[in-house]
Amino acid sequence: MGAFALRRLGGMAAVLFAVSVLTFLIFNVIPNYDPAVRMAGKSADPQLVASITEEWGFDESLPQQYLTMMGKVFSGDVISYQGQEDVDERIVEGIPATLSLCIGAAVIWMFFGVLFGYLSAVRAGGLLDKTLTILAVAGISVPVFWLAAVLLNYLAYETGLFPAQGYVELTEDPVDWAYHLILPWITVAVTLVGLYSRVLRSNMLDAMGEDYVRTARAKGLRDRQVMSRHVLRNSLIGIVTLFGLDFGAMIGGSAILTEAIFNLNGVGLYLYESIENLDLPPIMAIVLFGAFFVVLFNALVDIAYAYLDPRVKLGSEAR
């Protein structure tokens, strides 16, 4: 088991290396234009460009440039020349808001996704199932920016039930923190609730036809025990995969629209601003930051898999 986890983490390092090389090539090599000029921004004077060239070693060999760039990223030495600020500091500042948004939304989407999926599957073909199906398809189809705008308009501006924007630190006032985050959480979660409930429903319907479910019934288990211990438990394995991918991508920047609309001072909002200003250093750093989380959660999913499905772990040992 330990060896399996270590091997998986080793693979993760390899993927990250590949992503970092790609990022380096995309930002600094492929554009075929002096990267120092592009980094310096719109109103750059030759002196700044010269110092950037010097600092990032753009006149040296490509491998050397790559090493310099990675060195700067890892030592927190990346600077936004336009904003005159430390990029790593801004990312670290944004992490609490992004994590609050993602974790809160994840709790909501997992809870309701599993609940609705379970109810749909248990009552398959019934009125509840049909209602939930319509809701789920509607949820999947709604664009985030539209949903956010509707929520803002009706629940914030017109009725004033919820604040329209801003982020309050959890440590400052937990109630106010949650109060400010409710609309963004819902915005992020709705699509995923719909998606997860549909996937879980179909996984569970497949599982109900399995021989081991018949065995469980033949043992004399009550319907609810059969459903939760055998059907749901085995169907959740697929959901965990989805969750790992979605959650990693969410932290890595997928929540950019929601953060921008609700003016949540997170990593996504910073990315949004940087793209608007064509400010390369922060974009580069956030891409690497996002890649890290996507790859990390991918690896965690694989490791979780070995716990959830014993065949995975032992399958890898046998051959």
- Nearer to other proteins by Cβ, of 17 and 212: the residue is 212
Q: How many helices (H) and strands (E) does the chain have?
A: 15, 2
Q: Does 7 bind other proteins (CB under 8 A)?
A: yes
Q: How far is the CB of 228 from other proteins (least distance, A)?
A: 12
Q: How far, in whole angstroms, is CA 89 from its chain's centroid? A: 21
Q: Does 210 bind other proteins (CB under 8 A)?
A: yes
Give the alpha-carbon dihedral of 8, 14, 18, 19, to 10 degrees: 50
Furthest-apart CA pair in the chain: how many Å?
81
Q: Examine residue 229 and tell whether it contacts other proteins (CB under 8 A).
A: yes
Asked if 218 interacts with other proteins (CB under 8 A), we say yes
**Stretch near other proteins under the rule CB under 8 A, chosen from 69-77, 208-216, 269-277, 286-294:** 208-216
Residue 143 main-chain phi, psi, to 5 deg = -70, 145
Q: Which is nearer to other proteins, 34 or 309 (CB)?
A: 309
Query: What number of residues does the chain have?
Result: 319
310 is a site residue for other proteins (CB under 8 A): yes
User: How many C-beta neighbours within 10 Å does residue 71 have?
Assistant: 11
Identified binder of other proteins from the candidate list 67, 133, 164, 217, rule CB under 8 A: 217
Does residue 6 belong to the site contacting other proteins (CB under 8 A)? yes
**Looking at beta carbons only, is 221 or 249 nearer to other proteins?**
221
Nearer to other proteins, 37 or 237 (CB): 237
Report CA torsion sign: 88, 93, 95, 97: negative
Q: DSSP letter at 266?
A: S
- E-strand ranges in 175-312 read none
**Contact set with other proteins (CB under 8 A):** 3, 6-7, 125, 210-212, 214-223, 225, 229-230, 233-234, 237, 308-311, 314, 317-319
